Amino acid sequence: MTTKKLSALALLVAFMVGVQLTTHVTGTSYYLTQLTMTIYSCLLIIGLCLVMGYAGQISLGHAGFFAIGGYISAALTTFNFRPALEGGSSWVELLNTTGLFTSRTSMFGEPLLSVQPWIACLLAVSLTALIALLIGIPVLKLKGHYLAMATLGFGIIIFRIVLAMEIFGEADGISDVPGFTLLPGLTVNGNLDNRVVNYYIAAAFLISGFALLLNLIDSRVGRALRAIHGAEDAADAMGIDTARYKLYTFVLSAVFAAVAGVLLTHYSGGISPSDAGVMKSVRYVAIVAIGGMASLWGALTMGGLLNFLSLRGLFGSYDDAVFGAILIIIMLFAPEGVLRLKLWCKLKGHKEEG
């Protein structure tokens, strides 16, 4: 890593710590819950930024990937296998001996036997990666914005599936999702006395994910991606397997979305169909666009700001409409993102000349 990148990351860490200390000093620790949720959304958004800004593709399915992560993990960690075990199901017995399951009591005091969060998480993320691969392989061979169409269809299907299936709780979603113990003593859950720790767990995930992506765009692969985005036929002529690079980028960003889904679900203790809705995907796309497409820092800043404001209820019942409007305005007036507004650049240019 270059010193420039390191110092920027150090600044980010300092900012995150500063925010927590401020809430502590001002007695506003109740903000931490919404901040933690915002951080997980940002994890998804920086992944989407890689697809939009560097692979030059639009995904309208990222809420779907988030939902697959969250729902699979939630369903596996809440589904009770105890009746099946007591009923003498030999495969549940077999799985039980492998340490796949864990026992706990539900919030109604009922004994539960459900899948270990780590296992559930790995399954959820692998399944997401597999689905992204299956969507991406045929679609990303084509030149053009076919990924937007395909992922839009995919997003709608996921939304209908979680609404329709009993195992996903239909319209109510899944609740009573247990905490996810990452390491002994480090549990992702929504307990109030665990709020500060969880803020830092989320921050650690975001900062590591962000560092990985910053590294990536500043590498041979990142150069290839920028080349593809800038002039695809010239990238082809340089021997870059453009379809494969776009595919891997797409899968990587789906994995970021799934990880965010898993962690946020265990943090909030549940997930509901609104998290899987296509409007959520539109919101993510709007945020990346306003951040400047090919700017991880822009996506992070805007993701942090807008998600937090939205969670604070600033946009009221116009929440979705606000993000739709943002998308339209950005496309019309500042396709480079607000941080690089044309007007602003012009002013800057004049200053440099003068």
The residue within the footprint of another protein, chosen from 100, 133, 186, 216 (CB under 8 A), is: 216
| Span of 21-29, 79-87, 125-133, 231-239 interacting with another protein by CB under 8 A | 231-239
234 counts as binding another protein under rule CB under 8 A: yes
| Span of 54-62, 76-84, 219-227, 325-333 interacting with another protein by CB under 8 A | 219-227
Taking CB under 8 A as the rule, which mask of x and - marks residues 269-298 in contact with another protein? -------------------------x----
339 counts as binding another protein under rule CB under 8 A: no
| Nearer residue to another protein within complex by CB, 235 or 282 | 235
Mapping DSSP to helix (H, G, I), strand (E, B) and coil, where does residue 169 land? Answer: coil
Residue environment code for 249-277, b if the CB has 16+ CB neighbours within 10 A, otherwise e: bbbbbbbbbbbbbbbbbbbbbbbbbebbb
Residue in the structure block whose two tokens are 């699979």: 72
Alpha-carbon gap, residue 130 to 226, rounded angstroms: 25
242 counts as binding another protein under rule CB under 8 A: yes
46 counts as binding another protein under rule CB under 8 A: no
**Sign of the C-alpha dihedral, residues 273, 78, 75, 201?**
positive
Is the Cβ–Cβ distance between 135 and 61 less than 8 Å?
A: yes
The residue within the footprint of another protein, chosen from 213, 260, 327, 334 (CB under 8 A), is: 213
The residue within the footprint of another protein, chosen from 127, 161, 227, 329 (CB under 8 A), is: 227
Alpha-carbon gap, residue 81 to 150, rounded angstroms: 36
8 exposure class (CB count in 10 Å sphere: 0-12, 13-18, 19+): middle
| Nearer residue to another protein within complex by CB, 220 or 351 | 220
The residue within the footprint of another protein, chosen from 21, 94, 164, 238 (CB under 8 A), is: 238
231 counts as binding another protein under rule CB under 8 A: yes
How many residues sit close enough to another protein to count as binding (CB under 8 A)? 28
First to last CA, the chain: 35
Q: What is the largest CA-CA distance in the chain?
A: 83
Residue in the structure block whose two tokens are 């951080």: 39
156 counts as binding another protein under rule CB under 8 A: no
Residue in the structure block whose two tokens are 């969250």: 70
**Sign of the C-alpha dihedral, residues 256, 261, 262, 264?**
positive
Quote the least distance from Cβ 48 to another protein, whole Å.
Answer: 17
| Nearer residue to another protein within complex by CB, 82 or 226 | 226
Quote the least distance from Cβ 300 to another protein, whole Å.
Answer: 17
| Nearer residue to another protein within complex by CB, 122 or 231 | 231
Alpha-carbon gap, residue 239 to 203, rounded angstroms: 38
252 counts as binding another protein under rule CB under 8 A: yes
Alpha-carbon gap, residue 270 to 180, rounded angstroms: 12
Nearest alpha carbon to residue 259 among 199, 323, 180:
180
103 counts as binding another protein under rule CB under 8 A: no
Q: SS3 breakdown of the chain: % helix, strand, coil, rounded to 5?
A: 75, 5, 20
The residue within the footprint of another protein, chosen from 87, 99, 185, 239 (CB under 8 A), is: 239
| Nearer residue to another protein within complex by CB, 202 or 247 | 247
223 counts as binding another protein under rule CB under 8 A: yes
224 counts as binding another protein under rule CB under 8 A: yes
| Span of 56-64, 68-76, 172-180, 212-220 interacting with another protein by CB under 8 A | 212-220
221 counts as binding another protein under rule CB under 8 A: yes
235 counts as binding another protein under rule CB under 8 A: yes
Alpha-carbon gap, residue 148 to 139, rounded angstroms: 10
- Contact set with another protein (CB under 8 A): 1, 212-213, 215-216, 219-224, 226-227, 230-231, 233-242, 248, 252, 294
